[in-house]
Amino acid sequence: MYGLIITTKFILSNTTYSKSIRKYDLNTQGGWSFLWIGSTINCGSLCTKPHHTKGSKIRMKAGNIHYNCENDLPKKIALFPLEGALLLPGGFLSLNIFEPETLEMVEDAMVSNRLLGIIQPFSSGTDYLPIQLYKMGCIGRITHYNETGNGQLFIILQGVCRFTLEQELVNTKSYRIALIRSNIKDLQEVEFSESINRENLLNIVEQYLIIHEIEYNWSNIIQTPTPILVNAFSSLIPFTPAEKQALLEAPDIGSRAQTLLALTERSLMKQTGAYHYLN
């Protein structure tokens, strides 16, 4: 097991929401913080727009680095198995690192390309077999690195693009390394999809916030671009690891929105016994 505390970040219309169990607090710092039974989830931009010149295609920017094409991405990467963690392209994931193998992995990444492969396990493994991993994960770039003074590290990863796990490599490190195939389409700006029923999305989001007695500023939510809203709630709502994997593997923002609606609908039905029909 890796020792760490997971934090995810995203920005909603340059506003910040903080939640301590059941409360969202609007301020101006640009994040959404969640406290879930001893673990903290902070959320910054899930749909960061990189700097670009007029007439050029918009590409992904993580920290100071632009990722424009396949040649900008690694063919092999250190794997960071994290159950229940959802890092999406443009999104943020903050981690406290204190296990020796993860400390070594992060230090090696810092003197290389700062990239790690966040991927979920789907089995616990045995004494004879390693933990089995899903085939799709997300490349994250370390954009913030801090030594905490107690032998631990605090890092923030920004999602660059999803990847498919091709083959794990035998190596002498204490962590896993694999050949991967990057999803180049993720480098492009997330655009609005006409297949997304924004009215349904907002309706389901509002019901979820009300049922969980979460205070919110609706005027800010309705001003949030649809792709950011979809990615934000995909990361924030405490879905199961398998459900989060389904959201990660959705081929486009429209498909992710439909998956998000279906999963949230089912969650609401279980909690209230009521049916919230989708159009």
Task: For residue range 242-278, list pLDDT tens digits in order.
Answer: 999 999 999 988 999 999 999 998 888 887 765 444 4
Task: Say whether domain 48-187 belongs to CATH 2.60.40.10.
Answer: no
- State residue 152's pLDDT score: 94
- State residue 178's pLDDT score: 98
Whether 209 has a pLDDT exceeding 90, the answer reads no
| Other beta carbons less than 10 A from residue 166's beta carbon | 13
Q: Please state the rounded mean pLDDT for residues 169-181.
A: 96
Task: For residue range 86-132, list pLDDT tens digits in order.
Answer: 999 988 889 999 999 999 999 999 999 999 999 999 876 666 677 89
Q: Please state the rounded mean pLDDT for residues 28-54.
A: 33
The pTM (predicted TM-score) of the whole model is: 0.76
Let me know: does 226 contact 233? Beta carbons within 8 Å.
Answer: no
- State residue 107's pLDDT score: 97
